[in-house]
Amino acid sequence: MTQFTVSVVIDGDTFEVANGWKWNGQTGSRVRPTGYDAPEINTIAGQQAKQKLARLIQGEVVNIAKAYKIDRGRLVCDVYFNGRNLADYFTEYQ
């Protein structure tokens, strides 16, 4: 696993990491965790999901394990925080 510090939370299921990532010859900073799909940001539930994710990981170190693809500039991958899959914190969106 590779450690990254979360620099910005974009919405309930997208965030940016400091210093970016490299995968399969591509680079970027946006990450899309697997295992859950938060509501869209333009809804109240989406704003709540973003706030929850920000409280949880903003400025914290996360571990990126297996990456699957790049979707709209985001690395889609398994993300762990405090030893737990990030999706485990968002069971309401699984």
Judged by DSSP in three states, 94 sits in: coil
Q: Confirm or reject CATH 2.40.50.90 for domain 2-81, answering yes or no.
A: yes
pLDDT digits (tens, 9 = 90+) for 2-24: 999 999 999 999 999 999 999 99
Q: Where are the domains positioned within the chain?
A: 2-81
pLDDT band at 1 (very low <50, low <70, confident <90, very high): confident
DSSP string, 36-77: --PPPTTSHHHHHHHHHHHHHHTT-EEEEEEEEEEETTEEEE
What number is the average pLDDT over the span 30-36? 98
pLDDT digits (tens, 9 = 90+) for 45-64: 999 999 999 999 999 999 99
Bridge partners, residue 79, by sequence? 64
Residues 6+ apart with CB under 8 A from 14: 30, 31, 32, 74
